[in-house]
Amino acid sequence: MAELCKNSRELNSILYGNSESEPVSEACAKLTQEFFRENTLQLLIICLPKLNLEARKDATQVVANLQRQQVYSQLIASDYLEANTNLMDILIASFEDTDMALHYGAMLRECIRHQTVARVLSYVLTVDVV
């Protein structure tokens, strides 16, 4: 877990830059591609409760940033989430843990910004109500 905590800080630094440098768009694009290709989003969501508070904050910011990253004018996150709608179930179910609800809620909010995810989630919530 210590390695994952360290990596979340490094991912955050690549995507947002640091006091010494701005983010490099090529590095952000490469990170975005690898993040979704390797199914890291699901791993991060599942492992989030095991991280310390600072790593959780970093992970939440990383997920938020990657949802908006375009690679070759395409939102990779949108395609990924459309193919992995089970992640929305995980995020919604995670609200039961009050210590984690803030982090999962921020991730869910960023995911819902994608039209395909919002449409699927809207349908699921409508079916559950009826």
Which SS3 state, helix, strand or coil, does residue 1 take? coil
Query: pLDDT for 28-50, tens place per residue?
Result: 999 999 999 999 999 999 999 99
Query: pLDDT for 71-99, tens place per residue?
Result: 988 889 888 988 888 888 888 888 888 98
Residue with more model confidence, 68 or 2:
68
Instruction: Inform me whether the pLDDT recorded for 130 exceeds 50.
Output: no
End-to-end CA distance of the chain: 42
Q: What is the CA radius of gyration of the chain?
A: 15
